[in-house]
C-alpha cells in the first residue's frame, strides 16, 4: 500500500527531510501499527521510530487516526514529548505546504493532546497561531483562524492553566480582529468575527489578570478595535472603571503602561519563515547587498493588499526581539534602522504607516531605564539621525509623529509620556548610541518649530544649541 | 541516490544519542578544505546532515592518522560511539552500505565553489547557489529555456534553465546542482543541469552571494600545457551583461 503524501510536491524540489523521516518510519513499522499492539516498551531509538510512524499514520490516514492515537496512548513513556516535538518541527518548518487532509488531522490531534496534557502542547499551539497570517483573507488562512479558535474556545479550563497560551491567543486574535472586522461578507466570516470577539471579551473581562501579562502593547492593539462596540465598552471601563476587572494590581490604565511587553509576544505575528529571513538579513547581509533580499521578502510576504498590516508587527519584532550583538553592530552588516526605514517606505496606506510609526516609537513613550531595554529604542533614534541630510523628509516625518504622539496619545498622561521620551533621548546620548543631536538641531531642512521642540527634550547639558536655533530662524521657512 | 537511504539510517541511529553540541564542536574544528561541504549542510540546516558530516569527519580524522582509508578503523570508531550496537545481519548490511557510501561521498561528490568552475564537456559540477534573477522564457525546439543569474559566496554565473525548471525556480530559491555541466551552448558559456544532471530547490533566501566575478563573462583559452583544460584569459565584464548589477 502506497502511503499518502503529507506535503505538496513541487517539481525540482528536494524531498522534505521531515516528511521523509516520517514516511520511512511508517513504512518500516507498518505491521506493528495494527492491533493487537505489543505490550513491551520499546528501547529509545525504536520508541522514537514508533512515534514517527504513528505521527505519519495519524496525519495521512484519517480513517485509522483513532486507532493510531490509541496506540500512542498505550506506549507513551515520555509525556508525549517526542510526539509533540515531531509535530512542532513539522508545523514550524512546513505548515504552509501541508495538504488539506494532513492539515486537518494535525489540528485534530493537537486538540486530542490537550486532553492528555501532553508535554510542550502549549508550544505547539503557539506555533499554530504563528501560522495564521496577518492581513490574509484567503480561505485557508481564515479556516486556520477558525479551527484554532474553536479548539481554544472549547478548552477554557486548560487555557486558564496556561497563561502564556491564553495571553498569546488574546494578542493574536485582537490583532486579527483589527484586520477581519473591516471585511464584510460571507456568513463564515461573520461567524469567525463573532467567535473572535467573544473569545477576546471573555479573556479580558473574566481573566484580566492573565491578559495583563501582555503589558503595554495590550493598550496599543486594543486601540485598533475600539470601534467595535464590545471593545468600546471595555475601553471605557479600562479608563473610567478599572476596578470592574477585579484585579488588585490594576487601578489605572497607567499600570499597563509600566509593564514592558515580554518579547515573545512579538514573535506571535511573525511566521517562523519570516523570522528566519529577517534574522538572516540583519545578521549576515552586508550594506549595499540588501536590495535583492528586500525584493524577495516583499514578493514572498508583503505582496497582497492587506499584507501591510504585518509591517507594524515586523517593526515591533525588529525593535524588541532581534537585538544584534555588538560585534554585528560594528560590522558591515545592514543595521536595523535601515531595514525599518525600508519597511516604512513600503507602506502605501496612511493607516498602516501610522501604525508602523507607533510600533517604532511605542517604547519611547513609556521608557523606564529600570525595566526597559535601550535596544528597543535605538533603531528609531538612529533612523532619524542617519536620514539627515539625504532623506531628511523621513526625519521630519518621524519627529512630527513623535511629538504628535506625546501630545495626543494619552492626554491625561501627557507629562508622563514627555518625561519618558526625554529619558529615552537622555539614555541614548549618555550611552553614546548617538553622540549628540546637533545634526538634527542644526539642520535647516527641518522646521524650526520641530527643532525647538526636540531641543526642549534634551537634558540641560545639551541645551547649548538652543541659542543657535533662534539665530538661524530668521531666513528659514518651510 | 539509492545509497543515501541506508546511510542516513546507519548514521542517525548511531549518533542520535550524541546530540547537537558534539556535532557543532566538530564543525568548528574542521580544517578549511571541508568548509564548502559544511557550508552546504549548514545552509540546509538539517540535524541529520550534520550527523552525517560528523561521521564523514570521523572518517577523515582516521585517514589523516593512518594515511589511508581503513574500513576497520572507520567501523571501530563508529562502534565506540555506540556501545550497545547490535550486530545483527541487517546491521552488518547497513554498515557495508555505509562504508560504500562514505567512499562514494568523499571521492565523487565534492561540492565546488562557483569561482572554481572551468568550462569542460563533462557533467561534474556539483554546486549550490541562489537564484538572483530570471530572464525571459523562450522556446528551443520543443523545450522551454530560460536564462538566469545565479551566485554563491564566491562568484556568479549564468545558469540555463530547461523545461520545467523554467517555471519552477524563482529568484530567492537556493538550488543544489548535481552533475551539472559548464560549457558553451549556442555561443553562450552557461552552467546547466544538462541531460545527466539534476537541479533541486533546497531552500530560500538564507544564502549569501557575490555578483562579481561572473564566470560566464570570462574569456577562456586552452591551457598550452594541457590542451584538454581551459584557463582564464581575460575578464570580458565584471558583472553579467545580460542581467546588470542590482542598483
Contact B185/A at CB under 8 A: no
pLDDT at B54: 53
A-contacting residues in B 80-119 (Cβ below 8 Å): none
Burial A443-465 (b: 16+ CB within 10 A, else e): beebebebbebbbebbeeebeeb
Contact B51/A at CB under 8 A: no
pLDDT at B53: 53
And the C-alpha cell for A72? 500512542
Q: Answer for the pair B55, B80: CB distance below 8 angstroms, yes or no.
A: no
pLDDT at B121: 86
| Average of per-residue pLDDT values in chain A | 92
Report the candidate in B16, B86, B90, B85 with the shortest Cα–Cα distance to residue B55: B16
- Chain A environment of B208 (Cβ under 8 Å): 284-285, 289
Top-confidence residue, A201 or B46: A201
pLDDT at A376: 97
Phi, psi of B114 (to 5 degrees): -60, -30
ipTM score of complex: 0.90
Is residue A71's pLDDT more than 80? Answer: yes
- Chain B environment of A48 (Cβ under 8 Å): 16
| Rounded mean pLDDT, A348-366 | 96
Smallest CA–CA distance, residue A9 to chain B, in Å, is 11
Mutate to test the interface with A, among B43, B205, B243 (most CBs of A within 10 A): B205
Burial A368-381 (b: 16+ CB within 10 A, else e): eeeebebbbbbbbb
| Average of per-residue pLDDT values in chain B | 70
- Chain A environment of B209 (Cβ under 8 Å): 289
And the C-alpha cell for B87? 550486530
CA distance A397 to B229: 61
- Residue B174's DSSP bridge partners are B130, B203
Mutate to test the interface with B, among A12, A43, A89, A277 (most CBs of B within 10 A): A12
Mutate to test the interface with B, among A8, A296, A300, A334 (most CBs of B within 10 A): A296
| Rounded mean pLDDT, A430-458 | 92
- Yes or no, beta carbons of A276 and B206 under 8 Å apart: yes
Q: Which residue on chain A is closest to B5 by alpha carbon?
A: A24
Q: Which residue on chain A is closest to B6 by alpha carbon?
A: A24
- Yes or no, beta carbons of A10 and B16 under 8 Å apart: no
- Chain A environment of B200 (Cβ under 8 Å): 12-14
Is residue A128's pLDDT more than 70? Answer: yes
Q: Which strand (E) or helix (H) includes residue A2?
A: none
3-state helix, strand, coil split of chain A in percent (to 5) is 70, 0, 30
| Rounded mean pLDDT, A337-358 | 96
Smallest CA–CA distance, residue A74 to chain B, in Å, is 24
Longest CA–CA separation in chain B, Å: 62
Q: Which residue on chain A is closest to B209 by alpha carbon?
A: A289
- Yes or no, beta carbons of A296 and B247 under 8 Å apart: no
DSSP tag of A303: -
Q: Answer for the pair B7, B52: CB distance below 8 angstroms, yes or no.
A: yes
- Chain A environment of B247 (Cβ under 8 Å): 291
DSSP tag of A251: S
- Yes or no, beta carbons of A296 and B205 under 8 Å apart: yes
**Which among A11, A284, A295 is the nearest to B168, CB-wise?**
A11
Contact B4/A at CB under 8 A: no
pLDDT at A475: 38
- Yes or no, beta carbons of B168 and A13 under 8 Å apart: yes
- Residue B223's DSSP bridge partners are B226
**Which among B46, B169, B200 is the nearest to A17, CB-wise?**
B46
pLDDT in tens, A19-63: 999 999 999 898 888 888 877 778 888 899 999 999 999 999 999
pLDDT at A166: 98
Identify residues of A whose CB sits under 8 angstroms from chain B CBs. 10-14, 17, 21, 24, 44-45, 48, 276-277, 280, 284-285, 289, 291-293, 295-297, 299-300
Mutate to test the interface with A, among B1, B206, B239 (most CBs of A within 10 A): B206
CA distance A477 to B90: 86
pLDDT at B14: 42
Report the candidate in A346, A337, A341, A335 with the shortest Cα–Cα distance to residue A295: A346
Lowest mean pLDDT among A3-12, A429-438, A465-474: A465-474
- Chain B environment of A24 (Cβ under 8 Å): 5, 9
- Chain B environment of A276 (Cβ under 8 Å): 205-206
Contact B192/A at CB under 8 A: no
Contact B201/A at CB under 8 A: yes
- Chain A environment of B168 (Cβ under 8 Å): 10-13
Smallest CA–CA distance, residue B156 to chain A, in Å, is 14
Whole-structure pTM value: 0.83
pLDDT at A464: 44
Q: Which residue on chain B is closest to A15 by alpha carbon?
A: B202
- Yes or no, beta carbons of A14 and B202 under 8 Å apart: yes
- Chain B environment of A299 (Cβ under 8 Å): 171-172
Lowest mean pLDDT among A63-67, A144-148, A457-461, B51-55: B51-55
Smallest CA–CA distance, residue B66 to chain A, in Å, is 32
State percent of chain A over pLDDT 70.
95
Lowest mean pLDDT among A64-78, A162-176, A318-332, B21-35: B21-35
Q: Answer for the pair B241, B217: CB distance below 8 angstroms, yes or no.
A: yes
CA quadruple A417, A421, A423, A426: dihedral, nearest 10: -160
- Chain B environment of A277 (Cβ under 8 Å): 204-206
Could you tell me the pLDDT band of residue A181, with boundaries at 50, 70 and 90? confident
Mutate to test the interface with A, among B172, B177, B192, B243 (most CBs of A within 10 A): B172
**Which among A14, A276, A300 is the nearest to B200, CB-wise?**
A14
CA angle B98, B104, B108 (to 5 degrees): 155
Q: Which residue on chain A is closest to B201 by alpha carbon?
A: A13
pLDDT in tens, A218-244: 999 999 999 999 999 999 999 999 999
- Residue B157's DSSP bridge partners are B150
Determine the angle formed by the axes of helices A414-430 and A350-365, rounding to 10 degrees: 70
Q: Which residue on chain B is closest to A43 by alpha carbon?
A: B84
CA distance A379 to A395: 13
Provide the strand spans (E) within chain B.
125-134, 138-140, 143-151, 156-162, 173-185, 188-192, 198-204, 218-223, 226-235
Q: Which residue on chain A is closest to B164 by alpha carbon?
A: A11
- Chain B environment of A14 (Cβ under 8 Å): 176, 200-202
Residues in chain B: 247
Which portions of chain B are predicted below pLDDT 70? 1-110, 245-247
Residues in chain A: 478
Report the candidate in A65, A66, A134, A143 with the shortest Cα–Cα distance to residue A98: A143
pLDDT in tens, A74-103: 999 999 999 999 999 999 999 999 999 999
**Which among B46, B164, B246 is the nearest to A11, CB-wise?**
B164
Amino acid at each position: 500500500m502506497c502511503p499518502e503524501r503529507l506535503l505538496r510536491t513541487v517539481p525540482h524540489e528536494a524531498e522534505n527531510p521531515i516528511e521523509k523521516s516520517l514516511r520511512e518510519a511508517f513504512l518500516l513499522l507498518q505491521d506493528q501499527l495494527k492491533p493487537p499492539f505489543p505490550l513491551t516498551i520499546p528501547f529509545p531509538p525504536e520508541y522514537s521510530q514508533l512515534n514517527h510512524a504513528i505521527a505519519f499514520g495519524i496525519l495521512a490516514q484519517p480513517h485509522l487516526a483513532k486507532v493510531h492515537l490509541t496506540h500512542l496512548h498505550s506506549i507513551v513513556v515520555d509525556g508525549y514529548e517526542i510526539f509533540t516535538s515531531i509535530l512542532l518541527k513539522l508545523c514550524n518548518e512546513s505548515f504552509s505546504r501541508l495538504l488539506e487532509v494532513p492539515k486537518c488531522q494535525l489540528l485534530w490531534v493537537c486538540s486530542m493532546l490537550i486532553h492528555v496534557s501532553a508535554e510542550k502542547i502549549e508550544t505547539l499551539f503557539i506555533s499554530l497561531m504563528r501560522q495564521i497570517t496577518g492581513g490574509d483573507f484567503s480561505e485557508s488562512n481564515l479556516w486556520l483562524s477558525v479551527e484554532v479558535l474553536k479548539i481554544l474556545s472549547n478548552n477554557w479550563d486548560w487555557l486558564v492553566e496556561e497563561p502564556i497560551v491564553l495571553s498569546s491567543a488574546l494578542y493574536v486574535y485582537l490583532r486579527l480582529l483589527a484586520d477581519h472586522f473591516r471585511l464584510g461578507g460571507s456568513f463564515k466570516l461573520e461567524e469567525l468575527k463573532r467567535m473572535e470577539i467573544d473569545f477576546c471579551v471573555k479573556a479580558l473581562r473574566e481573566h484580566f489578570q492573565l491578559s495583563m501579562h501582555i503589558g503595554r502593547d495590550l493598550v496599543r492593539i486594543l486601540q485598533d478595535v475600539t470601534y467595535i462596540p464590545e471593545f468600546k465598552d471595555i475601553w471605557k471601563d479600562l479608563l473610567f472603571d478599572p476596578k470592574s476587572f477585579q484585579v488588585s494590581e490594576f487601578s489605572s490604565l497607567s499600570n499597563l503602561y509600566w509593564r514592558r511587553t515580554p518579547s515573545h509576544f512579538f514573535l506571535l505575528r511573525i511566521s517562523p519563515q519570516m523570522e528566519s529571513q529577517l534574522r538572516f538579513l540583519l545578521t549576515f547581509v552586508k550594506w549595499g547587498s540588501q536590495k535583492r533580499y528586500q525584493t524577495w521578502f516583499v514578493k514572498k510576504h508583503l505582496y497582497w493588499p492587506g499584507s501591510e498590516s504585518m509591517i507594524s508587527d515586523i517593526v515591533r519584532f525588529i525593535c524588541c526581539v532581534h537585538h544584534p550583538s555588538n560585534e554585528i553592530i560594528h560590522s558591515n552588516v545592514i543595521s536595523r534602522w535601515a531595514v525599518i526605514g525600508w519597511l516604512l517606505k513600503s507602506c502605501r496606506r496612511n493607516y498602516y504607516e501610522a501604525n508602523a510609526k507607533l510600533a517604532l516609537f511605542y517604547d519611547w513613550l513609556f521608557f523606564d531605564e529600570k525595566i526597559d531595554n535601550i535596544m528597543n529604542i535605538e533603531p528609531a533614534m538612529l533612523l532619524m539621525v542617519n536620514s539627515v541630510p539625504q532623506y531628511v523628509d523621513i526625519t521630519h516625518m518621524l519627529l512630527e509623529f513623535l511629538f504628535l504622539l506625546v501630545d495626543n496619545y494619552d492626554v491625561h498622561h501627557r507629562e508622563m509620556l514627555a518625561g519618558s521620551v526625554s529619558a529615552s533621548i537622555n539614555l541614548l546620548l549618555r550611552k553614546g548610541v548617538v553622540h549628540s543631536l546637533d545634526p538634527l538641531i542644526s539642520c535647516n531642512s527641518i522646521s524650526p518649530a520641530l527643532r525647538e521642540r526636540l531641543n526642549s527634550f534634551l537634558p540641560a547639558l545639551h541645551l547649548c544649541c538652543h541659542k543657535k536655533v533662534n539665530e538661524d530662524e530668521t531666513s528659514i521657512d518651510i | 541516490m539509492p545509497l543515501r537511504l541506508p546511510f542516513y539510517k546507519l548514521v542517525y541511529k548511531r549518533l542520535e544519542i550524541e546530540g547537537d553540541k558534539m556535532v557543532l564542536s566538530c564543525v568548528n574544528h574542521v580544517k578549511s578544505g571541508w568548509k564548502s561541504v559544511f557550508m552546504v549542510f549548514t545552509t540546509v540546516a538539517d540535524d541529520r546532515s550534520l550527523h552525517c558530516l560528523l561521521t564523514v569527519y570521523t572518517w577523515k580524522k582516521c585517514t589523516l592518522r593512518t594515511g589511508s582509508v581503513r574500513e576497520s578503523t572507520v567501523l571501530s570508531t563508529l562502534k565506540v560511539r555506540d556501545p550497545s550496537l547490535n550486530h545483527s545481519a541487517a546491521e552488518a548490511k547497513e554498515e557495508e552500505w555505509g562504508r560504500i557510501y562514505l567512499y562514494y561521498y568523499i571521492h565523487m561528490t565534492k561540492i565546488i565553489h562557483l569561482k572554481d568552475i572551468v568550462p569542460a564537456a563533462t557533467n561534474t559540477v556539483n554546486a549550490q547557489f541562489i537564484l538572483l534573477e530570471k530572464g525571459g522564457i523562450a522556446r528551443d525546439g520543443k523545450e522551454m529555456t530560460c536564462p538566469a543569474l545565479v551566485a554563491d559566496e564566491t562568484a556568479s554565473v549564468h545558469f540555463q534553465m530547461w523545461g520545467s525548471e523554467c517555471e519552477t525556480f524563482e529568484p530567492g530559491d537556493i538550488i543544489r546542482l548535481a552533475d551539472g555541466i559548464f560549457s558553451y551552448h549556442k555561443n553562450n558559456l552557461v552552467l546547466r543541469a544538462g541531460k545527466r544532471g539534476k537541479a533541486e530547490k533546497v531552500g530560500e533566501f538564507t544564502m549569501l552571494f557575490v555578483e562579481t566575478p561572473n564566470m560566464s563573462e570570462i574569456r577562456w583559452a586552452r591551457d598550452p600545457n594541457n590542451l584538454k583544460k581551459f584557463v582564464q584569459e581575460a575578464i570580458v565584464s565584471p558583472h553579467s551583461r545580460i542581467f546588470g548589477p542590482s542598483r
